[in-house]
Amino acid sequence: MYIGRFAPTPSGDLHFGSLVTAIASFLDARKNNGKWLLKIDDLDRPRVITNSVQSILKTLESLNLFWDSTESYQSQRLEAYEFYFEKLLKINQTYKCNCSRRYLINNSKLGVDGQIYPGFCKKKSLRNLDSFATRIIVNEFLVVIEDQIQGLISQNLSKEIGDFIIKRNDGQFSYQFAISIDNKLDNVTNIVRGADLLTSTPRQVYLQNLLDFNIPKFSHIPIATIDKKKISKSNDDKILIKGNQKDVWVKALRFLNQPISKNASQMNLDEIIESAINNWTISKVRALHSIEIF
Ligand SMILES: [Zn+2]
């Protein structure tokens, strides 16, 4: 069975950029008679803003984006993360690292997503440290993903990323690790999300392979930008999601390059959504990294 999901970080209200990913994943799930789950990515506590979960749920409901099952929270999954973390320790694919951020900035190259870790601590077998991160050993093979929108994506983790962190030196599981486990816990089969996560997908696929999980299908939709910058909570695009819910839906469908019914103005919200589900064709979404919305 198709299981999709939307996974917002509660670091503020939903903006148009996150909303189009919600709508795309919702439409893809409904079109495939699947489930659409809501998972709150609240593991990174300092980024969590009080009341933003409530605000996100309210915005989704106001747009008739109703999710199946009760929403889940990463912050309530620590035991499951620990369980799979222990599994990775047992297969000897990890090591401890106490390199500081500053040291890495001065002694390693910048890659597609931060510094490429050159494996400084790999042979050190560090013990008795007060503070250390845990890295996963990657290999030389190309990780190849067939994205349903962006096409073939490949990455050589050892050259482009390096052994990456699965548990940080403050004891928190890394984003890459946590969401890989989430996919297993939720039995997610299809992930529709923003193209800003494209470069981190091979790390998630790598972890899921190591843990013998099924690999979901990926579809990365373009990021909405204003003045070539990703929309964030700071450049206030609330205008785009306030007001008439029908307009928000139509703007999102236009962004996703989906057909819009000629008599949309006479239709109510449910009819617009129903026609959007019937007409949803994921291959029509443009294979771009970003799209300017003004
Ligand atoms: Zn190190």
State the distance from the centre of ligand 1 to the C-alpha of 123, rounded, in angstroms: 10
In a 3-state reduction of DSSP, which class is residue 162?
A: strand
State which fold the 3-76+222-292 domain adopts. Answer: Rossmann fold (3.40.50)
Exposed (0-12), middle (13-18) or buried (19+): which is 102, by Cβ within 10 Å? exposed
State the distance from the centre of ligand 1 to the C-alpha of 158, rounded, in angstroms: 15
State the distance from the centre of ligand 1 to the C-alpha of 11, rounded, in angstroms: 30
State the distance from the centre of ligand 1 to the C-alpha of 136, rounded, in angstroms: 12
Euclidean distance between CA atoms 149 and 291, whole angstroms: 14
pLDDT tens digits, residue range 118-169?
Answer: 999 998 877 777 889 999 999 988 999 999 999 999 999 999 999 999 999 9
In the structure encoding, which two tokens stand for residue 219, read together? 């579809």
Q: Helices (H) and strands (E) in the chain — how many of each? A: 9, 15
In the structure encoding, which two tokens stand for residue 62, read together? 């106001």
Q: When comparing pLDDT for 242 and 87, which is higher?
A: 87
Is domain 79-176 in CATH 3.40.50.620, yes or no?
yes
State the distance from the centre of ligand 1 to the C-alpha of 97, rounded, in angstroms: 4
Largest CA distance in the chain: 69
Indicate the pTM of the whole model. 0.94
Domains 3-76+222-292 and 79-176 share a fold: yes
In a 3-state reduction of DSSP, which class is residue 27?
A: helix
State the distance from the centre of ligand 1 to the C-alpha of 62, rounded, in angstroms: 47
Q: Which amino acid is at 78?
A: L
Residue spans of the domains in the chain: they are: 3-76+222-292, 79-176
Say yes or no to pLDDT of 236 above 70: no
